[in-house]
Amino acid sequence: MVKVTFLKLGYIGATTLIDALFDERSSRKNITLRVISSGVKMSDEEARDTANLAVTIPTDLYIVVSPNASLSGPKIAREILKETGKPIIIVSDEPSRKTLKKLPEEYGYIVIYADPMIGAKRALLDPIEMAVFNSDVIKVLAVTGVLRLIHTEIDKVIEQIQNEVPPEMPRIVVTKTKAMQYSGIENPYAYAKAMASFEAARRVATLSTEGTYKVEGKENFLPILAAGHELIRYAAKLADEAREIEKANDTVSRVAHFRNGNLRSKTKLFDTYKK
Amino acid sequence: MVKVTFLKLGYIGATTLIDALFDERSSRKNITLRVISSGVKMSDEEARDTANLAVTIPTDLYIVVSPNASLSGPKIAREILKETGKPIIIVSDEPSRKTLKKLPEEYGYIVIYADPMIGAKRALLDPIEMAVFNSDVIKVLAVTGVLRLIHTEIDKVIEQIQNEVPPEMPRIVVTKTKAMQYSGIENPYAYAKAMASFEAARRVATLSTEGTYKVEGKENFLPILAAGHELIRYAAKLADEAREIEKANDTVSRVAHFRNGNLRSKTKLFDTYKK
Amino acid sequence: MVKVTFLKLGYIGATTLIDALFDERSSRKNITLRVISSGVKMSDEEARDTANLAVTIPTDLYIVVSPNASLSGPKIAREILKETGKPIIIVSDEPSRKTLKKLPEEYGYIVIYADPMIGAKRALLDPIEMAVFNSDVIKVLAVTGVLRLIHTEIDKVIEQIQNEVPPEMPRIVVTKTKAMQYSGIENPYAYAKAMASFEAARRVATLSTEGTYKVEGKENFLPILAAGHELIRYAAKLADEAREIEKANDTVSRVAHFRNGNLRSKTKLFDTYKK
Amino acid sequence: MVKVTFLKLGYIGATTLIDALFDERSSRKNITLRVISSGVKMSDEEARDTANLAVTIPTDLYIVVSPNASLSGPKIAREILKETGKPIIIVSDEPSRKTLKKLPEEYGYIVIYADPMIGAKRALLDPIEMAVFNSDVIKVLAVTGVLRLIHTEIDKVIEQIQNEVPPEMPRIVVTKTKAMQYSGIENPYAYAKAMASFEAARRVATLSTEGTYKVEGKENFLPILAAGHELIRYAAKLADEAREIEKANDTVSRVAHFRNGNLRSKTKLFDTYKK
Amino acid sequence: MVKVTFLKLGYIGATTLIDALFDERSSRKNITLRVISSGVKMSDEEARDTANLAVTIPTDLYIVVSPNASLSGPKIAREILKETGKPIIIVSDEPSRKTLKKLPEEYGYIVIYADPMIGAKRALLDPIEMAVFNSDVIKVLAVTGVLRLIHTEIDKVIEQIQNEVPPEMPRIVVTKTKAMQYSGIENPYAYAKAMASFEAARRVATLSTEGTYKVEGKENFLPILAAGHELIRYAAKLADEAREIEKANDTVSRVAHFRNGNLRSKTKLFDTYKK
Amino acid sequence: MVKVTFLKLGYIGATTLIDALFDERSSRKNITLRVISSGVKMSDEEARDTANLAVTIPTDLYIVVSPNASLSGPKIAREILKETGKPIIIVSDEPSRKTLKKLPEEYGYIVIYADPMIGAKRALLDPIEMAVFNSDVIKVLAVTGVLRLIHTEIDKVIEQIQNEVPPEMPRIVVTKTKAMQYSGIENPYAYAKAMASFEAARRVATLSTEGTYKVEGKENFLPILAAGHELIRYAAKLADEAREIEKANDTVSRVAHFRNGNLRSKTKLFDTYKK
């Protein structure tokens, strides 16, 4: 039984379902999952507080999920967790790349390029707009291989821990090419559509950042932020279109967790899973 | 400063973003949020363990989110939390209705009818299928008023706690009519589309339950489960179509949290928020 | 030459084209069809009157199509037709199920679950809304196997009559599973989409019944009825999407009547029909 | 009480629901409707037979619906009905135009240009393809004003008969411009979309005629017929898009029958009907 | 090195990209292209002037592209070019058919049926409407085989000139059947969709002509012209749908120019081109 | 009468219709347009040759359109045209920005950010793929304000020349914000959709450049190039969706050329144009 604890500070798209990726039907016998989160906040204090809670939980592997892992909150959190001596994997978004690549080798990390910041200005953002945006991001992450990559790579670490092998930490920058390798998409045009979806999502990040931080005046930033949200909606549509092609060809790649935690895969819906 | 702790046991659609609903831009000064979760599992042991962790957190209001709150896991959890003497609100799905309506008056509850169970058979469900399904459910919950209802009603409790008024616990069954009252949709056809989306989502629950528990043989249950997932995809499309009409009319209702936690609303995108 | 007389009382979706199903190109040499209808009305008097007309027509097989065959109009009609001693098959919708299952064995019946009642309140329903609704219902019935089932099963009876074999009366409740067996859909996702379409259509019936009979006040029933009509529109879209997948794979199942009344089938568009 | 008898010989799109247009909710007190049909066949014999049946029904107004009213079947039928001395209105498709315009003034007629012939070759047409095609045609006829024109103009005659005024027979060629006048569509682009739908449907007739009668060889006629069916599918989509715009603007024109047979209209969904 | 000079007088859809069709990647070593155009005007004077310029350019083959090649402008132009003794191919739209078929045999021609006139009334047409219309026309011409036909047939002439063989002039009326032979579409339903797109585009021409020249009064001609533009939008959608099916099946036909001007083709995206 | 000569070297999206923008109905009395083009090629030699031809044409204003105006071909061309002493405006794409901003003040320029390079590898690009891509680009340029900006700004220069005023040369970098100012879109969500379309198109340029020049191996560059083409398809869809909203609200901005060259505008389709 491997014990995995997720520490979530603030929100990126991957935050919402990351723990569920490891036991999609709630049937695995070889892991226990715990999640501690500070909700949307990720200040130093919130980070310290939740990390201090996380260290009290019996854990074999910590996974820290946050926006921009370069900020001091996430940094404080991983330093507190580091004290436990347990392996730590950091999952974050594109602005984290430089910082994470420089982390000592014992940290694992997964830097996701297509998990864009939301348009974080009150003029656009209310709870419903926020939820709609995340719905779209999740679809992009699911179809373009990002979520598959996350669970596959961390599943390897879990298995190593279970087998008492020193775990090899993933140190992955999830570019469009890297993500798509995990997408399992067979049709070349569906593949291109998913990649286009990924790139559109990445562009959303640029728009959200520009509109949230760089542009003054509601009449200026609001169209830019709203454009970002329109673009993520279309990125989700592109992802959906890609998946629909795979369905139409009965080539949807499925890789499911079995009770013992093993992953097996199949392609045709009525196939039997195989190693 | 009101301290709200979410205890999440297993997953329904509302689980994914429920805490983020209360501070969509991470700007509120009057609340602190904590989330404890056992991931997808909700056995007695998991429930006990996480509840015991939750009680260690300084908290003014507990919100317990789980599928089927009639099960013993969620029951154990709420009994442990009850010991703290703090108010508890339970958020769960349709199968919880009878149980929750019978709970003592000090419990609040929100029973959501359009938050369907997933098709929980390995033949269909892998982590990607799970994420895609949740993406669709989130869109339905967002547009049909469910998420607005959740945060509005619980925001009232938070405000009462902040004002040191004895909180009035919400005891709400979120039927299609109840949800839609919170949707803010103005165009009558968009309203009907959103309601249709809600009903389609509710039908998904029937299909998932039938396919997961009542039908034997992959050749029999697999089409039923897959039909449920196709139907939620269309429920999300209907929700999207409803919202697009509101956009086209520039009548999207926005109700945002201000720094002090107050909710203000506006309709036209370039409007200023008003009480 | 087998003589078939349809008696239509009131309207369900199947009413509109049921006789045309038996001779789609107007080329069969072995049947003569007659239709008597009272239009939308189905009172006792209308039923008696049209049934009395129907018995004057030389007929080998009567097919009575109406909403809710439990009502007294349809009952009167079938009793009048019974006097002729000719075989009778009743085609009706879900509310007829109990009544029809209890009918003596000499009656055949086909109870269709996905042929929903229309939202029958003046506030919503004018002739155009009615026609649009029926257009959608027809598409659902066509793609999900319902119309194929109807003509296939009744074609068997016609053939038995032609061969002077005592006809075996169909006694079929057309559930989603039953209907789909006749759909001829090969791709498993298209199959699931069609099944989802069927289920959505069935849900429409619930909404129409609720809005027409159970809810008071235009502000209350109108959204519910309109939601039903939005849902049937999406059920038709789902059916269309399913058929488009089959087209894209060149696997549309075609079963056509030949001049002698035999059915032959093919799958690829440029194939030749085979027995 | 006005007694209207429909004689249907063979099928055009308008055949399917024409009688239902006059009492969409089955609530009118001032008319009785009867339908006699020969199904898809329209030979001289079928026409004579059904017309002879129709003359036995007490009738104040006959409406004869058939493809190509120039053919001898429909001609025989109207001559038989003529004997009754009752007024007769003929509803048919574009190929009937010349013949109908030459009929004596006591006949009324409605010639519909956008009610295309089906692709009537076995290689394409089976009962399901037939039903799908008709579903699309009905949507076009409903949205583009054709069905509104039919019932409005015949309702006038019914009212005149009820008032014992000598009825003024409609003699109408339903061109795109004529049809659209009855569509009630307000938005000018929706209006143009509906007109485009009408024209596309008219083009389908050309394709069906070419493919069914003028081209030899399956490899030659099959693409043409299938193109016609694809085009009607898009005509229906265009009609749907037009209606959706009217919904989004809450300007769907509704003209409903009241119990006494009067037509009243409204535009906003929650409006009250007015004369 | 073959020198090809395009003389463009006025605009049809094919005008926009016709020269680019011959060297899509700007890599051919065996041709030089020149284009002379008078923009949208095609009066006698404009035609004479530009033709006189064109004759000054060293040219092995002239291609004259214009609307209605029966008009005097295009006629003047081709007579001036004729003086050079160089081969001339005329590309024009449906109204040119009779004139072009009567031209002496030394002229080549390509008459395109699905390249419709725009709705040329100021009430509808501004530069943006014009560009949107052309965008749609280009998609129709591209997918339905028209553009493939143009370059394939003219490429043959270019090759003959290069090989110093007396060129065989194409004399082609591009009907729906002729165009589709060049479309390379494999799926029979995609083929039918593309053919339907072609026919819809042809219908646009009728609407544009009617609205521009035959109908008086803005309230009369504007809906007709707008209907034409809506119909071309749907023709483009149909073309897109056809191409998407081919993509989903990985059967998009590609025929590319190699450096030496040879055409090679492939079907699967990752295939290698073959002769 | 102002004489404008376009010199087109190679292709960007704006190349295809730029001259037609100035006289959309071919009705202006105050300008004469000439176009000289080298087709897709833009080498020094092609540039020199066509520029030398262009200088022979009586011209009041030269407009040079090409990809990357920093390359030597376009540079040579503008130097040759410079000799005439006539005003020159350069229209090019994003890579030209730096070079054009450094040009002496007498040059005008318009640098378009959303006119992306095509995926210029043979493995993807054949003439049909090229045309489909351009169709999509044109729609983006039309709806997002780019084409309006081009003709509006150059129309000012034409007017100044006509009035014998020294023309003020446009020196404009068409960013998303700049373009959208010319889009005339009123609905804020449609505005955001169009801006998202612009940004997606800009991202296409990145993908095309990467896939064409920076990545080796068909298996690597082909998905990237195809992703670019999928993304431009969705950019066109977004643009279309934006325009459809404006249609649904009857707020499509139209600015048409009158016979004397004046621009007048209107918003409602049935409005009369006003200054």
Neighbours of A139 (CB within 10 A): 30
Q: Which residues contact E79 (CB under 8 A, 6 or more apart)?
A: none
A-interface mutation test, from C186, C187, C189, most A Cβ less than 10 A away: C189
Give pLDDT < 70 ranges for chain B: none
Of residues F94, F104, F74, the one with CA closest to residue F146: F94
User: What integer pLDDT is reported at residue B43 of this predicted model?
Assistant: 97
Under an 8 A CB cutoff, do A189 and E270 touch?
Answer: no
Closest residue of chain B to A23, computed from CA coordinates: B40
Backbone angles phi, psi at D63, to 5 degrees: -125, 120
Bridge partners (DSSP) listed for residue F33: F4
Write out pLDDT tens, residues C134-144: 999 999 999 99
Residue C213: band (very low, low, confident or very high) from pLDDT cuts 50, 70, 90? very high
**E269 → closest Cβ in A189, A245, A249:** A189
Distance CA A109, CA F60 (A): 62
User: What integer pLDDT is reported at residue A77 of this predicted model?
Assistant: 98
Under an 8 A CB cutoff, do F192 and A227 touch?
Answer: yes
Q: Is D131 on the interface with B (CB under 8 A)?
A: no
User: What integer pLDDT is reported at residue A146 of this predicted model?
Assistant: 98
User: What integer pLDDT is reported at residue B11 of this predicted model?
Assistant: 96
How close is the nearest chain D Cα to the Cα of B240, in Å?
Answer: 13
Chain B residues within 8 A of A222 when measuring between CB atoms: 269-270
Count of all residues that appear for chain D in the document? 275
User: What integer pLDDT is reported at residue F236 of this predicted model?
Assistant: 98
Q: What is the mean pLDDT of chain F?
A: 97
**Touch of F by D (3+ CB pairs closer than 8 Å):** yes
Q: Is F229 on the interface with A (CB under 8 A)?
A: yes
Under an 8 A CB cutoff, do F189 and B270 touch?
Answer: no
E10-45 core/surface letters (b: 16 or more CB in 10 A; e: else): bbbbbbbbbbbbbbbbbbbebbbbbbbbbbbbbbee
Q: Is F63 on the interface with E (CB under 8 A)?
A: no
Bridge partners (DSSP) listed for residue C7: C36, C64
Chain E residues within 8 A of F39 when measuring between CB atoms: 6, 19-20, 22-23, 33-35
Q: Is F205 on the interface with A (CB under 8 A)?
A: no
How close is the nearest chain E Cα to the Cα of C272, in Å?
Answer: 15
Q: Is D192 on the interface with C (CB under 8 A)?
A: no
Chain D residues within 8 A of E220 when measuring between CB atoms: 177
Of residues E178, E172, E160, E143, the one with CA closest to residue E60: E160
User: What integer pLDDT is reported at residue D25 of this predicted model?
Assistant: 95
Chain F residues within 8 A of E46 when measuring between CB atoms: 32
Under an 8 A CB cutoff, do A234 and F237 touch?
Answer: yes
Under an 8 A CB cutoff, do A188 and E248 touch?
Answer: no
Q: Is F16 on the interface with E (CB under 8 A)?
A: yes
Write out pLDDT tens, residues D25-69: 999 999 999 999 999 999 999 999 999 999 999 999 999 999 999
**Touch of D by A (3+ CB pairs closer than 8 Å):** no
Chain E residues within 8 A of A248 when measuring between CB atoms: 248
Q: C213 with C224: CB under 8 angstroms?
A: no
How close is the nearest chain A Cα to the Cα of C188, in Å?
Answer: 7
The mean per-residue pLDDT over the stretch D8-23 comes to: 97
Closest residue of chain A to B150, computed from CA coordinates: A127
Chain C residues within 8 A of D185 when measuring between CB atoms: none
Bridge partners (DSSP) listed for residue C64: C7, C90
Q: Which residues contact B85 (CB under 8 A, 6 or more apart)?
A: none
Under an 8 A CB cutoff, do D188 and F250 touch?
Answer: yes
Strand D88-93 versus strand D171-174 pairing type:
unpaired
Closest residue of chain E to C271, computed from CA coordinates: E188
Q: F126 with E126: CB under 8 angstroms?
A: no
Q: Is A131 on the interface with E (CB under 8 A)?
A: no
Residue E195: band (very low, low, confident or very high) from pLDDT cuts 50, 70, 90? very high
Give the global pTM: 0.98
Count contacts between D and E (CB, < 8 Å).
91
Q: Is A151 on the interface with B (CB under 8 A)?
A: yes
Q: Is C37 on the interface with D (CB under 8 A)?
A: yes
Under an 8 A CB cutoff, do D238 and E229 touch?
Answer: no
Scanning E171-190 for CB atoms below 8 A from D yields: 176-177, 180, 188-189
Distance CA F106, CA F100 (A): 11
Chain D residues within 8 A of B187 when measuring between CB atoms: 247-248, 250
Structure tokens at F189: 């969500």
3 state SS for chain A: CEEEEEEECCCCHHHCCCCHHHCCCCCCCCEEEEEEECCCCCCHHHHHHHHHHHCCCCCCEEEEECCCCCCHHHHHHHHHHHCCCCCEEEEEEHHHHHHHHHCCCCEEEEEECCCCCCCCCCCCCCHHHHHHHHHHHHHHHHHCCHHHHHHHHHHHHHHHHHCCCCCCCCEEEECHHHHHHCCCCCCHHHHHHHHHHHHHHHHHHHHHHHHHHHCCCHHHHHHHHHHHHHHHHHHHHHHHHHHHHHHHCCCCCEEEECCCCCEEEECCCCCCCEC
User: What integer pLDDT is reported at residue C62 of this predicted model?
Assistant: 98
**A10 → closest Cβ in B26, B128, B147:** B26
Write out pLDDT tens, residues D203-246: 999 999 999 999 999 999 999 999 999 999 999 999 999 999 99
Report percent pLDDT > 70 for chain A.
100
Structure tokens at E264: 């090679």
Which chains pack against B, by 3+ Cβ pairs within 8 A?
A, C, D, F
Write out pLDDT tens, residues F32-43: 999 999 999 999
Write out pLDDT tens, residues A205-252: 999 999 999 999 999 999 999 999 999 999 999 999 999 999 999 999
H or E segment to which residue E93 belongs: strand E88-93
Under an 8 A CB cutoff, do D248 and F248 touch?
Answer: yes
**B196 → closest Cβ in C176, C199, C234:** C234
Q: Is A252 on the interface with E (CB under 8 A)?
A: no
Chain D residues within 8 A of B189 when measuring between CB atoms: 247-248, 250, 252, 269
**Touch of C by F (3+ CB pairs closer than 8 Å):** no
**SS3 state at C219:** helix
Count of all residues that appear for chain A in the document? 275
User: What integer pLDDT is reported at residue C112 of this predicted model?
Assistant: 98
Of residues B131, B107, B93, the one with CA closest to residue B16: B131
Count of all residues that appear for chain B in the document? 275
Write out pLDDT tens, residues A123-140: 999 999 999 999 999 999
F-interface mutation test, from D187, D189, D249, most F Cβ less than 10 A away: D189
User: Which residue pairs, CB below 8 angstroms and at least 24 apart, start in E263-268?
Assistant: E263/E152, E263/E155, E265/E184, E267/E186, E268/A188
Residue D164: band (very low, low, confident or very high) from pLDDT cuts 50, 70, 90? very high
Of residues D31, D35, D32, the one with CA closest to residue D6: D35
User: What integer pLDDT is reported at residue D249 of this predicted model?
Assistant: 98
B-interface mutation test, from C133, C234, C240, C243, most B Cβ less than 10 A away: C234
**F200 → closest Cβ in A189, A192, A203:** A203
Structure tokens at E61: 């083959």
Q: Is C269 on the interface with E (CB under 8 A)?
A: yes
Encoded amino acid at F62, one letter = Y
Distance CA F275, CA F266 (A): 9
Write out pLDDT tens, residues D102-160: 999 999 999 999 999 999 999 999 999 999 999 999 999 999 999 999 999 999 999 99
Under an 8 A CB cutoff, do E41 and F23 touch?
Answer: yes
Q: To the nearest 10°, the Cα dihedral for A256, A259, A261, A263? A: -30
Which residue's entry shows tokens 């509710």?
A: B202
Closest residue of chain C to D120, computed from CA coordinates: C25
- Measure the N-to-C terminal CA separation of chain D; round to a whole number of Å: 21
B-interface mutation test, from A37, A68, A126, A148, most B Cβ less than 10 A away: A126
